[in-house]
């Protein structure tokens, strides 16, 4: 928004918009380079939850930047001229991500090694090391907030940014915010002498954007409803180019009409999800399958955690529906007995406690979130699936378990556990996951680019707000890795800008 004769009510060097896993490293870095920094955050302090504190807190550290470049290029290079992400951006990503662990530990943070190897097989995959912050995403955000507090960096909570303010040349001069938005919001214009860094997350909770940009609708996310595309609209107004808008690292999630946030399900029970991510053998897993609207299996159920999403986008134009939306998770009493259906380390049922899932799943059965029946045919009727087909699907699957071989989808033998312990259960599953990746295109300095490919002066981005990841996600821990890397890059360059006039 072009602004003339403004009466600036507050003035700093760098304004960071959004207080999450990218905003905090950006603010810390800019501050440590000598800039006077202010963070503005949409949510009130008492109820502030972002994707970072709801996350698992896993992050990548690459052990060889050259190999990391080869690895990412092996699935981001479409042809000689076309890349999901520009090679220069990949190069700087690799370089900074190789220092992620060191950066956290140098500030006193505590991490633990999880496993090595990327999610996409290919050259250089072995350079990916994945770590978890101790205390998951909750612990990571607590640590980052403490770092911000220790530096006396002010945070204006309950203050959504509404507009970016520019001069005649399109140079960003500051941000218009609504202070105390929950109470109506008083407009405050904040001057940013050096730069504005945008770290407001994705568009996970904007239905219109998801309908228009993602590959399948609906897609339900399990992070904060505050990430609703505000920043995307603000930078589009300034002519920003967009990238990765159709990409998200997602799979199938549980989503129920009377609760706004979706859940990641631990399908096989007992930390099955973590074992899937690490590629470790699953022991003592509970029997389950995933079926489509025709009551048939369509996957080995040993799917890639961050890319199954794309397999759900199949569309039947004759029936005018997505046959895999929703899908149905079918299991038996063994899984109910093995504990709460969702994971408890992240998401709404994680440490943020936005929802307390009952230990024996009884509350969710009573609510109808989990459908229960004495027989498979009765379960099918309750789900409005064809009973004969579902019975046939379960019978065939149980036969494969006996043989120790799945001729249809080659599910790994240790996961071939029969569904034979009544009663039977099902949960409707939807495309969904942690976050969107799309947003403004950025360069290797984290500057936001306009549609001509030029940086919009004094405007930076980091984190999932225009993440560097295109269709395929390199590994669990990718998003937090880039929050730290590009938060630091944006903070360094923003602090070095000459103050504008």
Q: How far apart are CA 358 and CA 344, in angstroms?
A: 11
Report the phi/psi class of residue 108: left, alpha or beta, with left for phi > 0 and alpha for psi in -120 to 50.
left
- Binding positions for ligand FAD, 449-488, rule CB under 6 A: 463-465, 476-481, 483
Q: Which helix (H) or strand (E) holds 224?
A: none
Cβ of residue 478: shortest distance to ligand FAD, in angstroms? Answer: 5
Q: What are the backbone angles phi and psi of residue 395, rounded to the nearest 5°?
A: -65, -45
3-state class (DSSP) for residue 291: strand
Among 120, 125, 227, 338, which residue sits at the site for ligand FAD (rule: CB under 6 A)?
A: 227
Residue 263 β-bridge partners:
254
CB-nearest residue to ligand FAD: 20
Number of residues lying near ligand FAD (CB under 6 A): 46
Among 17, 38, 69, 448, which residue sits at the site for ligand FAD (rule: CB under 6 A)?
A: 17
Among 10, 31, 42, 297, which residue sits at the site for ligand FAD (rule: CB under 6 A)?
A: 42
Q: How far apart are CA 65 and CA 72, in angstroms?
A: 10
Among 13, 29, 38, 51, which residue sits at the site for ligand FAD (rule: CB under 6 A)?
A: 51
CB 486 within 8 A of CB 197: no
Q: Please choose, from the candidates 23, 257, 41, the residue with its C-alpha nearest in 3D space to the C-alpha of residue 141.
A: 23
Q: For ligand FAD, what does the binding mask look like between residues 408 and 447, x meaning CB under 6 A?
A: --------------------------xx------------
Among 13, 14, 55, 439, which residue sits at the site for ligand FAD (rule: CB under 6 A)?
A: 55
Strand duo 186-198 + 172-179: pairing: antiparallel
Cβ of residue 281: shortest distance to ligand FAD, in angstroms? Answer: 21
- Say which residue the tokens 């440590």 belong to: 32
Determine the interface stretch with ligand FAD among 39-47, 84-92, 422-430, 490-498 (rule: CB under 6 A): 39-47
Question: Angle at the Cα of 141 (from 138 to 146), degrees rounded to 5?
Answer: 125
Nearer residue to ligand FAD within complex by CB, 306 or 322: 306
Is there binding between residue 52 and ligand FAD (CB under 6 A)?
A: yes
Is there binding between residue 491 and ligand FAD (CB under 6 A)?
A: no
Residue 61 β-bridge partners:
129
Contacts of 341 (CB under 8 A, 6+ apart): 254, 263, 265, 266, 335, 357, 361, 364, 370, 427
Among 100, 120, 147, 199, which residue sits at the site for ligand FAD (rule: CB under 6 A)?
A: 199
Nearer residue to ligand FAD within complex by CB, 230 or 301: 230
Nearer residue to ligand FAD within complex by CB, 129 or 464: 464
Q: For ligand FAD, what does the binding mask look like between residues 81 and 120, x meaning CB under 6 A?
A: ----------------------------------------
CB atoms within 10 A of CB 320: 7
Calculate the CA 41 to chain-centre distance: 19
CB 194 within 8 A of CB 50: no
Among 12, 69, 216, 226, which residue sits at the site for ligand FAD (rule: CB under 6 A)?
A: 226
Residues forming contacts to ligand FAD in the complex (CB under 6 A) are 17-23, 40-43, 50-52, 54-59, 137, 160-161, 199-201, 222-224, 226-227, 230, 346-347, 434-435, 463-465, 476-481, 483
């Amino acid at each position: 928004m072009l602004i003339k004769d403004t009466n600036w009510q507050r003035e700093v060097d760098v304004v960071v918009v959004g207080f999450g896993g990218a905003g905090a490293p950006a603010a810390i870095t800019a501050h440590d380079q000598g800039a006077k920094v202010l963070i503005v955050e949409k949510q009130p302090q008492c109820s502030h939850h972002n994707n970072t504190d709801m996350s698992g807190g896993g992050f990548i550290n690459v052990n060889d930047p050259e190999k990391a470049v080869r690895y990412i290029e092996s699935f981001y290079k479409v042809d000689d001229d076309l890349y999901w992400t520009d090679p220069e951006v990949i190069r700087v990503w690799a370089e900074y991500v190789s220092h992620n662990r060191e950066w956290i530990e140098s500030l006193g943070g505590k991490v633990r090694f999880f496993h090595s190897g990327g999610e996409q097989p290919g050259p250089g995959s072995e350079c990916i090391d994945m770590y978890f912050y101790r205390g998951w995403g909750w612990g990571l955000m607590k640590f980052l907030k403490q770092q911000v507090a220790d530096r006396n960096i002010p945070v204006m909570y309950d203050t959504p940014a509404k507009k970016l303010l520019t001069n005649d040349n399109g140079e960003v001069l500051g941000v218009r915010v609504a202070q105390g938005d929950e109470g109506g919001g008083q407009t405050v214009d904040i001057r940013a002498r050096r730069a504005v860094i945008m770290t407001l997350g994705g568009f996970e909770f904007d239905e219109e954007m998801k309908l228009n940009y993602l590959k399948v609708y609906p897609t339900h996310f399990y992070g904060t409803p505050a990430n609703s595309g505000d920043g995307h609209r603000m930078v589009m107004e300034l002519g920003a180019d967009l990238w990765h808008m159709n990409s998200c690292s997602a799979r199938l999630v549980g989503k129920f009409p009377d609760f706004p946030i979706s859940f990641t399900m631990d399908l096989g029970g007992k930390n099955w999800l973590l074992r899937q991510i690490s590629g470790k053998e699953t022991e003592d897993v509970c029997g389950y399958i995933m079926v489509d609207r025709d009551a048939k299996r369509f996957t080995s159920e040993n799917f890639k955690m961050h890319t199954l999403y794309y397999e759900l986008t199949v569309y039947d134009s004759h029936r005018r529906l997505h046959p895999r939306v929703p899908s149905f998770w079918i299991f038996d009493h063994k899984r109910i007995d093995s504990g709460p259906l969702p994971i408890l380390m992240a998401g709404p049922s994680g440490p943020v406690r936005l929802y307390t899932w009952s230990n024996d799943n009884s509350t969710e059965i009573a609510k109808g979130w989990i459908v229960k029946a004495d027989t498979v045919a009765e379960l099918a009727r309750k789900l409005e699936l064809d009973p004969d087909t579902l019975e046939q699907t379960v019978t065939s699957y149980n036969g494969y378990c006996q043989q120790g071989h799945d001729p249809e989808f080659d599910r790994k033998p240790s996961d071939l556990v029969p569904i034979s312990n009544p009663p039977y259960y099902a949960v409707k599953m939807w495309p969904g996951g942690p976050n969107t990746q799309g947003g403004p295109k950025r360069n290797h300095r984290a500057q936001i680019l306009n549609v001509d490919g030029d940086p919009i002066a004094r405007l930076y981005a980091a984190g999932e707000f225009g993440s560097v990841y295109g269709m395929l996600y390199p590994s669990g821990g990718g998003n937090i890795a880039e929050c730290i890397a590009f938060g630091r890059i944006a903070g360094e360059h923003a602090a070095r800008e000459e103050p504008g006039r």
